[in-house]
Structure 1
Amino acid sequence: MSISLSSHVLDTTLGKPASNMPLTLFTPQGKTIEASTNDDGRCNQWQDTVFTAGIYQLRFHTKDYLMSHHQAAFYPYVDIHFELIENGGHYHVPLLISPYGFSSYRGS
């Protein structure tokens, strides 16, 4: 079973997806992959990355999005560290944001 990764960013203040937000994925091997959310706030395009077991970091660059939609951004970015395991299947890392808070969990 292969490993795959997706993310979804939702603006809880507006009740809408956060589109065009830049993301940076850091792999256990030290590779950095730049991506961004689509019009629906989703991202599953990680170039040609083959995911292996290990600890990853996903950075959500929130400041520009929050400033343009809310004129406030307490968190300039949000870093989420998570671990993928061999044969772990699909991983989904959602982010719920507002100008002064955020939350994440393992989605499906």
Structure 2
Amino acid sequence: MSFSTHVLNAVTGRPAAGVPVRLEHEGRVVAQGTTDGDGRVKGWNPGAGVHRVVFDTSALTTFYPEVVITFLIDDPDGHYHVPLLLSPFAYSTYRGS
């Protein structure tokens, strides 16, 4: 299984590069990195279970200095893509492909 994410700045309509991201499982950090020039982090292989992806969004908005998305990986052969669309006073996410 694999995991990827990306961050889109909904104000500019552009990818958000340089956003620190970490992936947690059972209270410990299993992967961490920073979004690339296309706003993406990819290639993580965290395994099954409940995970939290944590975005340090403090450079993009002061209202949401951190966004945490909790999700379940239940298919060991699947790909999980969890994007974040962010604006100063709102954010959304979905299961991508």
Assess same fold via TM > 0.5: yes
TM-score (norm 1): 0.82
Report if the CA contact (8 A) 1:52-1:86 is conserved: no
What does residue 46 of structure 2 align with? Answer: 51
Q: 1:24: how far off?
A: 1.1
Q: CA RMSD in A?
A: 1.6
Q: 1:87: how far off?
A: 2.9
Q: Percent identity?
A: 42
What does residue 68 of structure 2 align with? Answer: 79
For the pair shown, the structure with the greater C-alpha radius of gyration is 1
Distance 2:78 2:13 in 1: 29
What does residue 16 of structure 1 align with? Answer: 14
1:89-104 alignment to 2 at 5 Å?
89-104=78-93
Off by >2 Å, runs of 4+ in structure 1: 28-33
Q: 1:23: how far off?
A: 0.5
Report if the CA contact (8 A) 1:10-1:18 is conserved: yes
Q: 1:7: how far off?
A: 0.2
TM-score (norm 2): 0.90
Q: 1:73: how far off?
A: 1.9
Match for 1:106: what amino acid?
R
